[in-house]
Chain A
């Protein structure tokens, strides 16, 4: 009974344009659960449509897809025209040669220690200290890959197998383990990733601090010490054997708030510095809310909404753009 009351309220909010993104997702998921649910929703929709004279759009998804792909298509056409003209082939061959020579030169002149590194443990555990002072114990028969930009533009490492991580925390460059289909991001931490023999099941144990476990299909979970989670790659599912005791997530509610005020609150909440390329941007207004998002997502949503961009700086972030799209 309570459930149907909740659904009626949710549908009402959605149709009245009052649903938050999370509520809209919850309703869409519920609609997809059964034909009955979909019909229930459609009946409510008809009442709204007829009583207010507003029709819901029924889009042509294929047409929209084609429209978006137009630019890619144009690029493909250019490639086809190369096939029809030998001169283009000569130019292309020269370019390939030039690129090849440049690459060879860069390779020969590279400074030592800038190439991709792979650490493999044979029958015993291997200890590795990375350039950012993070220490990793790689379990036997496991492999860790670190690319040349590690510590400069990112701190993502690739893991195949199992390893224990004692990570030096850095707000600006979060340490992330790419364990194949699933990622573990540190939020100031010591944690262990243990893989099954077929590499399908991972056990993530947090000894100290907090990690964010997420995959490309939308699963995401915050784990606090001493929590443990099991991730099954083939099912793309997380199983948490221990009870969740997450701390209260950071929450912001902005309603036509000036960018200056938004920045002040985000700076205090996430302990970062945020600058504006053009001080006049501070007067732009924004309406949004965040609960428990990481700083990168918050920065992305704020700048995307206003049609701006941002870059990382040694102090934090710099919002770029001359004017916002309002």
Chain B
């Protein structure tokens, strides 16, 4: 079924954009609801999958814009808290330290770009503008950082994966 096949992948994709679990789920549910309500009027001539991802992408980008506007009116502190509050259990300190050490070991530019993206939440375009690089170089360096980190840490990550499989 369309819903069960695409719901989780679409929520995941939307989460990468809006960085909020509830917003991501709301957006994906609204997208499906809207498709069903208007199924007679809609004339989807291309792939349904492509339509769904595109609709979720657009709604996600618009949500970010709304949040930015709201945040500029409301208290910045409250907004920041909502974006970062996590109810999940925290990661084992040992693994955090290993990742932190591995990031420190990255080649200079690679590490800098990875930190700007992950810790300062900068968009690729912002990183490129700040460092005077092309967006393509930023993409390339992020890919490189991920590759090195994964190879350095894969033994530790494998243990976590087995543990996760037992839970889910």
Contacts and interface: CB of A to CB of B under 8 A. Distances in A.
9 contacts: A20-B57, A51-B99, A51-B103, A64-B29, A68-B29, A214-B47, A220-B46, A300-B42, A301-B54
Interface in B92-145: 95-96, 99-100, 103, 117-119, 121, 123-124, 139-140, 142-145
B71 interface: no
Interface in A4-40: 4-6, 8-22, 24-25, 28, 39-40
A113 interface: no
Interface stretch (A133-141, A261-269, A272-280, A285-293): A285-293
Contacts of A61: 3-4, 7-8
Contacts of A50: 91, 95-96, 99
Interface size class of B (residues with CB under 8 A): 35 or more
Contacts of A143: none
Contacts of A59: 7-8, 11, 25
A47 B99 contact: yes
B150 A43 contact: yes
Contacts of B56: 21
Q: Give chain A's interface secondary structure class.
A: helix
Given A9-B140, A47-B146, 9 more contacts: A5-B147, A8-B144, A21-B56, A24-B57, A43-B154, A50-B96, A56-B12, A58-B168, A294-B46
A219 B48 CA distance: 9
A256 interface: yes
Interface residues of A, number: 70
Contacts of A132: none
A305 interface: yes
A218 B84 contact: no
Interface string A287-312: 11000011011001100111001000
B78 interface: no
Interface of B: 3-4, 7-9, 11-13, 15-17, 19, 21, 24-25, 28-29, 32-34, 36, 41-51, 53-59, 61-62, 65-66, 69, 84, 86, 88, 91, 95-96, 99-100, 103, 117-119, 121, 123-124, 139-140, 142-147, 149-150, 153-154, 157-158, 160-161, 164, 168
The 10 closest A-B pairs by CB, nearest first: A9-B143, A218-B47, A21-B53, A12-B142, A8-B143, A57-B21, A17-B16, A305-B58, A55-B88, A21-B54
A25 B55 contact: no
A20 B139 CA distance: 13
B147 A8 contact: yes
B54 to A, nearest CB: 4
A67 interface: yes
Q: Give chain B's interface secondary structure class.
A: helix
Contact of B45 (A49, A58, A294, A306): A294
A143 B24 CA distance: 47
Contacts of B123: 18
A15 B44 contact: no
* Residue of A216, A288, A306 with most chain B CB atoms under a 10 A cut-off: A288
A149 B24 CA distance: 40
A185 interface: yes
B16 A16 contact: yes
Nearest to B22: A57
A211 B118 CA distance: 45
Contacts of A10: 143
Contacts of A220: 45-47
B58 A218 contact: no
